[in-house]
A and B are shown apart, each in its own frame.
Chain A
């Protein structure tokens, strides 16, 4: 198994901290951010293999974040995770380069399987 790093970006802090903790419990290199700007800052300091990104966030929205990430780090895989879905949003997300579009809540085992696929394992 190839080690990979994950950045969870969501404006719900409770969600971010808990999910990060669970991933860390499974020996995954995971960190969290609650704002798009914060995530972009963190990306400047460290390369993440996978970014789990909420679409609807205050400040810089998920779709804007994904475009900037893809521009700066084309190898980074982005998975959109959101409570809201519409055909248009899914389409837009995929066009912006998202690997997958997931609906909250999500099972952690499913998530890890997806991470493994994303990291090329």
Chain B
């Protein structure tokens, strides 16, 4: 037994099928998939591309900010330390220059005088270990200091050649005879045409180290001096003591202060400050491990990309759902539109047949009446004349003519039926009572053929507003069809129920032969018939037209060999059309 859910409107299905057949692009699945894809791609692109661009822009902005944040302090520190070292060296160099220009060769040759000068220097500047006067031959003429270096010859030493050529020389750090790291500042004074003498002071490099250590405040950083060969000139926190080789890669061609991001020998990131100390062989290196700042940067980067990923996923989800919803809505609307077109076409067809039918019926009925009367008169004559030759044969022939006339008249009357029932007169109708009346017309046939007919009303249903005469015609037709579909002894079940709010439905189910899907598609079309010979093909299309006019719907559901259900759904209140 079909419930309301089993009742599907065949017109809608047929419309969808016809739509596919007529215009493959209109309702085909690929069309909606393409629509879906277009919506997804365009919406995602519009939403995601700016998001991705913004994320990468802010990524680079942040990266730049963080970079400056880590480079700037190193830059400042390197610069100030560089200046402090330059000042330290130039201060001592200037002092020596002043002395060598101020004092005469004789005064400086006197070790007592020299000792006094060393004392003054140590007091005023500090860091001076010893002081010596060397002549142009490299002989140390006088010396004051803690070591016994008097009378030594330096002519074969590199620093001596340097100072002879350049007037001033600052040496690298070395151990020398004194056995502690120190460096030398030597200044030259010209005497006569080719003669000269040199004042040479040894400076404890601990003084440099102390100045550098001011730059090293936290344990993640290091500062030290190297020479151009990368040999440590002061102790390093990370790379060992003086004279060891420094493994840090140096920036190429750096002749002034530079701060770069580098990796140390273990591949860890470092910020490297590099500054050559002017007028000396020293290069200041300041190393800082980014540490905490870098951690902040990593978490910010994670947040940034996490945000991008999560919002992208959200956008995609919304886009997918939206696109699916939208394309489904468009598809539904298209189906609905196709459905309406189909119905309109159908209604127009019925109206056209109505007009044509009425005209044709009238023109045919008159000659048909003449044939009827002529044949009738012939029949009268023959049946009255007992001795008429071949009387029986004639009577049969005439009867056949009269039968054909009757068939024609059935068709013309039906055609006129289209033109009829244009006006709808509404009155309250109880469908159950109406159905019983209709069954009353067919009672004789039901009894004769031993058909079991039942009416089942599920609930107390109110009267509907509709046209009695036309509903009678509808149900007479539907029930008649059910009678025709079953063999003698068949069953016909009629159910009256409420399929949805505002509607009542009558379903007529038979256990007859059933109707194939192909036939179901055309079953409501005018002149479509399967009853060979005696069907006009108008019954169900008239019924369809009436039900439509009454604001209802008629649908069929059938399975070959099992039976058929026709469902007529009618509005409880008739709306004026």
The chain A residues found within 8 Å of chain B, CB to CB, are: 12, 14-15, 18-19, 21-22, 25, 56, 82-87, 103-106, 108
Contact = CB atoms under 8 A, between A and B. Distances in A.
A85 to B, nearest CB: 6
A12, A14, A104 interface centre (most CB from chain B within 10 Å): A104
Interface string B365-404: 1101111111011001000100000000000000000000
Interface string B160-185: 00000000000000000000000000
A25 B422 contact: no
Q: Is the interface of A mostly helix, strand, loop or mixed?
A: mixed
Given A83-B363, A85-B420, A105-B368, 10 more contacts: A21-B377, A83-B364, A86-B420, A87-B420, A103-B409, A103-B416, A104-B369, A105-B373, A105-B405, A105-B409
A104 B365 contact: yes
A44 B365 CA distance: 31
A84 B358 CA distance: 7
14 contacts: A14-B374, A15-B369, A15-B373, A18-B370, A18-B377, A22-B373, A82-B365, A84-B362, A85-B416, A103-B416, A104-B372, A105-B365, A105-B371, A108-B376
A33 B368 CA distance: 19
B468 interface: no
A86 B380 contact: no
A103 B419 CA distance: 14
A86 B358 contact: yes
A47 B229 CA distance: 152
Interface string B404-440: 0110010001001001111100000000000000000
Contact of B365 (A25, A87, A103): A103
B361 interface: yes
Interface residues of B, number: 28
A14 B421 CA distance: 32
B369 A12 contact: yes
Contacts of B413: 103
Contact of A106 (B369, B371, B419, B421): B369
A15 B377 contact: no
Contacts of A83: 361-366, 368-369
Contacts of B420: 85-87
Contacts of A21: 377
A25 B380 contact: yes
A97 B466 CA distance: 29
A85 B420 CA distance: 8
A86 B366 contact: no
B354 to A, nearest CB: 11
Given A104-B369, A105-B409, A18 B416 contact: no
